Amino acid sequence: MMRSFFLYLSAADWAKNLVMRMGPARRTAYRFVAGDTLDDALEVTRRLNAQGMGVSLDHLGESVTDEAGARQAMQEYLVLLDAIRDNGINAAVSLKLTQLGLDISEDLCETHMRQILDRARDTGRHVTIDMESTAHTDATLRMFRTLHADYDNVGIVIQAYLYRSEADMRALAEEGAFVRLCKGAYKEPPEHAFPDKTDVDANFVHLTRLYLSSEARANGAYLAIATHDEKMIAAAREYIQANDIPLNAFEFQMLYGIRPKLQEQLRDDGYRVVIYVPYGTQWYPYYMRRLAERPANVWFFLTHLVRR
């Protein structure tokens, strides 16, 4: 109920205009967002790198409906990639295709992606395409495949809550793709997604094993296990140990500001850990999705609003 309400708010312009004007809301969002500027993102990245963690930087933005906005987003990613190189930090990049014009035209989005991937390749960086709602799943996978034919530095997110994900991951394993597996953060109907969390969790474990299997690895498939759920992590670790999966076949990923102790524990246990760090002024939908995931975050948000 609470989840649905906050996912509804994440896409509601009236709520966005209201919340983004509230200073305290902005300050609570900074728990999950590095800050408004590239400098903020670089500072957080340096700190995480010093703690032995990799970073994937997301310049926040999505659902762009005008060409100029999509072009500007592309240019901001070029600036980000140059800054990663110039500062010598350990960071990859994450982005959303609707930020780069997917809703305007696939050709426009592809042009922008090729410019970003060329720069990423020149600077030795990896780019992961986030997965948005099911309105975009087919187009996102299509774009990934077009790009993956020409670039080996591109990966894609798959959501365990979708029924289709097993078939998608089997195909991606044959293609030797980099996949970041997460549970899924959008509001989806029962025609597309498991309504029960227990089924989502069971599918996450199943897909983790599938993608770490020797058949998938034989094709060069690589898995980023993106979750803060200790049960998912324990199941992955159990499979990894039982099957002697090499450390260079996978990594754990978590979002900035969530379960930092668990992040450190995985690092201390010798695993590769990458933190997804968003930054920029367009934090509203990202923040609402984080509130939707956990009722305790909503109380944190509300108590800070009331205090001011």
Ligand X SMILES: Cc1cc2nc3c(=O)[nH]c(=O)nc-3n(C[C@H](O)[C@H](O)[C@H](O)COP(=O)(O)OP(=O)(O)OC[C@H]3O[C@@H](n4cnc5c(N)ncnc54)[C@H](O)[C@@H]3O)c2cc1C
Instruction: Kindly tell me which residue out of 114, 121, 164, 259 binds ligand X, with binding defined by CB under 6 A.
Output: 259
Nearer to ligand X, 66 or 178 (CB): 178
Nearer to ligand X, 222 or 276 (CB): 276
| 180 is an active site residue | yes
Return the closest-CA partner of residue 122 out of 101, 156, 151: 151
252 interacts with ligand X by CB under 6 A: no
Contact partners, residue 217, CB within 8 Å, separation at least 6: 245, 249
User: What residues does 57 pair with on adjacent strands?
Assistant: 93, 277
Stretch that binds ligand X, among 46-54, 135-143, 164-172, 182-190 (CB under 6 A): 182-190
Instruction: Kindly tell me which residue out of 116, 226, 235, 236 binds ligand X, with binding defined by CB under 6 A.
Output: 226
Stretch that binds ligand X, among 40-48, 97-105, 134-142, 181-189 (CB under 6 A): 181-189
Nearer to ligand X, 38 or 182 (CB): 182
Residue ranges of the alpha helices (H) in 100-229? Answer: 106-122, 137-148, 165-174, 197-212, 214-218
Residues 89-118 that bind ligand X (CB under 6 A): none
| φ/ψ of residue 36, rounded to 5 | -80, -30
55 interacts with ligand X by CB under 6 A: no
Encoded tokens for 167: 């078939």
What is the SS3 assignment for 55? Answer: strand
Q: Of 180, 217, 289, 290, which is the active-site residue?
A: 180
Residue ranges of the alpha helices (H) in 177-307? Answer: 197-212, 214-218, 230-242, 260-268, 284-293, 295-307
Stretch that binds ligand X, among 69-77, 114-122, 235-243, 247-255 (CB under 6 A): 247-255
What is the SS3 assignment for 56? Answer: strand
Give me the active site residues, please: 130, 180
Chain positions contacting ligand X, by CB under 6 A = 130-131, 157, 159, 180, 182-186, 226-229, 253-255, 258-259, 276, 290, 293-294, 297
